[in-house]
Amino acid sequence: MDISYRAPKFAHPFSRHTVIILTSLTDLRAALADHRTAGRRVGLVPTMGFLHAGHMSLVEYARAHSDVVVMTIFVNPTQFAPTEDLAKYPRDIPRDTAMAEKAGVDILFVPAVDEIYPAGFDTFVMPGAQGSILEGAIRPTHFRGVLTVVAKLFNMILPDVAVFGQKDFQQALLLRKMARDLNFAVDVLIAPIVREADGLAMSSRNVYLSPDERAQARVLSASLAEALHRIADGERSAAQLEQAIRTHIMSAPAAAIDYIAIAAADTLAPVEQLEPGRTAVIALAVRIGKTRLLDNILVENL
Ligand code: AMP
């Protein structure tokens, strides 16, 4: 009797999806070459790991727009200033692997630092003017690091689409601009912000918050919700909205505001008055204790 098991030619819809974990660029290129030969579209989701539901939503977005989803997990040293949290950035690759697999990631690329930055690496992608305002004003070398690593991932993976989160609005805008300005043949998609039940935007850095700080962190999203209510009631003045947001945030004793920006959503140029037909973004960077948090909302369809 033949008891040898033959795998079905096509995966059964209920069979468990398995993710392939790769750490070497050579293996990654070989795996992708097979998919490309088969004519499959490749979707890329770059992350720094310590995954949460926000990252999972990017995978879902990528799956909807491609046939093979590559997620990268790489805590990119060039986007951290020497004073920042590179060493203590949260990491949990086993947990991330299980989550990525469950979300339907096909290839998980987890390179070591010297795979991305071999000895002698010394070439960077510099953002233009939109990279030196807001986050760029406070973290002057940050976007240079982000653009450089994503340009490298684009060249390594040659994705058809790449998905980034609106949570890091300025970053997503700069990456879309980089793809256009430097002719990367990739569609940069921007997925909405995934939030905790109380409104806090999900972030790997939320684990830094003490329980008391976590409760106070609610003021970011709550102040944006209040601004939307005021806009619905007819407020159009950016100065008035900014003042209302500032007052709301400062009601949390642990909060310190880095910036509140009300700007054109396509250029990040400051706006004084909200106007119909011009989508604006209200973007916040707020420190709660030692933890720096970002949030934003789009104001459209006035
Ligand atoms: P990170 O691992 O924090 O570098 O984030 C990787 C990607 O996930 C970036 O494109 C982020 O903008 C995106 N992202 C982070 N948090 C969220 C969130 N709460 N909702 C949607 N996307 C997010």
Distance CA 147, CA 276 (A): 32
Judge contact between 271 and 278, C-beta under 8 A.
yes
Task: Give me the long-range contacts of 60-64 (CB less than 8 A, separation at least 24).
Answer: 60/103, 60/104, 61/163, 61/189, 61/191, 62/161, 62/163, 62/189, 63/104
Instruction: Look up residue 285 and give its amino acid.
Output: A
Which of 45, 164, 168, 224, when mutated, tests ligand 1's pocket best, judged by the most ligand atoms within 8 Å of its CB?
A: 168
> What pLDDT is attached to residue 301?
85
Determine whether 153 is exposed, middle or buried from the number of CB atoms within 10 Å of its CB (0-12, 13-18, 19+): buried
Q: Is 167 in the pocket of ligand 1 (CB under 6 A)?
A: yes
Q: Cα torsion at 23, 29, 31, 37 (round to 10°)?
A: 170
Q: Would you call 2 helix, strand, or coil by DSSP?
A: coil
Q: Is 178 in the pocket of ligand 1 (CB under 6 A)?
A: no
Distance CA 211, CA 209 (A): 6
Strands of the sheet with 161-165, listed across from one edge: 20-22, 107-109, 68-73, 42-47, 161-165, 187-191
Ligand 1 centroid to 161 CA: how many Å?
16
Ligand 1 centroid to 5 CA: how many Å?
41
Q: Is 193 in the pocket of ligand 1 (CB under 6 A)?
A: yes
Task: Find tokens 């005021």 and name the residue.
Answer: 230
> What pLDDT is attached to residue 123?
98
> What pLDDT is attached to residue 137?
98
Three-state SS for 67-122 is CEEEEEECCCHHHCCCCCCCCCCCCCHHHHHHHHHHHCCCEEECCCHHHHCCCCCC
Residue 55 bears catalytic tag: yes
Which of 45, 92, 167, 298, when mutated, tests ligand 1's pocket best, judged by the most ligand atoms within 8 Å of its CB?
A: 167
Judge contact between 151 and 178, C-beta under 8 A.
yes
**Average pLDDT by stretches of 10, the chain with 302 residues:** 43 67 98 95 98 98 98 98 97 98 97 98 98 98 98 98 98 98 98 98 98 98 98 98 98 98 98 97 98 98 87
Distance CA 50, CA 58 (A): 14
Residue with CA at minimum distance from ligand 1 atom 5: 47
> What pLDDT is attached to residue 26?
98
Select which of 17, 35, 52, 55 is catalytic: 55
Beta strands 280-288; 255-264: pairing state: antiparallel
| Distance set, CA 279 to CA 54, 104, 169, 268, 293 (Å) | 23, 33, 13, 11, 23
Question: Which numbered atom of ligand 1 lies nearest the CA of 201?
Answer: 19
Strands of the sheet with 291-299, listed across from one edge: 255-264, 280-288, 291-299
> What pLDDT is attached to residue 180?
98
Ligand 1 centroid to 7 CA: how many Å?
37
Ligand 1 centroid to 51 CA: how many Å?
9
Distance CA 296, CA 171 (A): 12
